[in-house]
Amino acid sequence: MESYIKLSTLNDFIFCPKSIYYHGLYDNYEKKTYQDEVQIAGTIAHESVDTQNYSTSKYILQGMEVYSDHYGIAGKIDTFDTRTGELVERKNQIHTDTKQTAKIYLGYKYQLRGQMFCLQEMGYHVEKLAFYSMKDNKKYRIYKPSTDDILKFEAFLERYRKFNLLEQHRKQNPKKCLRCIYRELCDYFIGEIYPQLQLFE
């Protein structure tokens, strides 16, 4: 049986496919031994929904496991309002540009849309999608996926499934590598990026 893709890894795969493998190596370790400030803040952002303490209202589903056999994806939602059909993903902070337009990563959108597909397959009616930025207490809505968006999502999942760490290597942006919490394990960082940094010391 083919294993499900975790929704929480979709953005990581876009950031760097290798990070999915390295993340798996740390699965049995305490998170605080390898997470940096950004990841710790993200964990805290989800604490209230993971423990189902965000709301006492029965119509708010929180921290619920969801899955889709059709797409082969699974994960957890943050909150879903069964009355309004609004699905919300909580982030520590959604950054904005100078015009206060939210800069929402494609991986975040895939994660939320994946949650929507799971809920729909489980019989729920999802009407609205939104991200909630905890740091500034703002909600940013995104549109429901078009037919083209769905085809791109399906193609992305196919690339994810076919990626082979041993056969494929994608040149990575050095700035991303420097921010990666797995860089000390990565052969690309150690072999390519780190030597370049030493040239400037």
For 138-175, write each residue's pLDDT tens digit.
999 999 999 999 999 999 999 999 988 776 566 677 77
Q: What is the pLDDT of residue 74?
A: 97
Of the ranges 132-136, 177-181, 193-197, which is most confident?
Answer: 132-136
pLDDT (mean) for 26-51:
55
Least confident range from 68-77, 79-88, 131-140: namely 131-140
Q: Are 59 and 83 in contact (CB under 8 A)?
A: yes
pLDDT (mean) for 74-91:
96
Burial grade of 181 (CB within 10 A; 0-12, 13-18, 19 or more): middle
Using CA atoms in the order 23, 25, 28, 34, what is the torsion angle rounded to 10 degrees? -60
Whether the per-residue pLDDT at 53 is higher than 70: the answer is no
Would you kindly state where each structural domain of the chain is located, as residue ranges?
5-15+23-164, 171-201
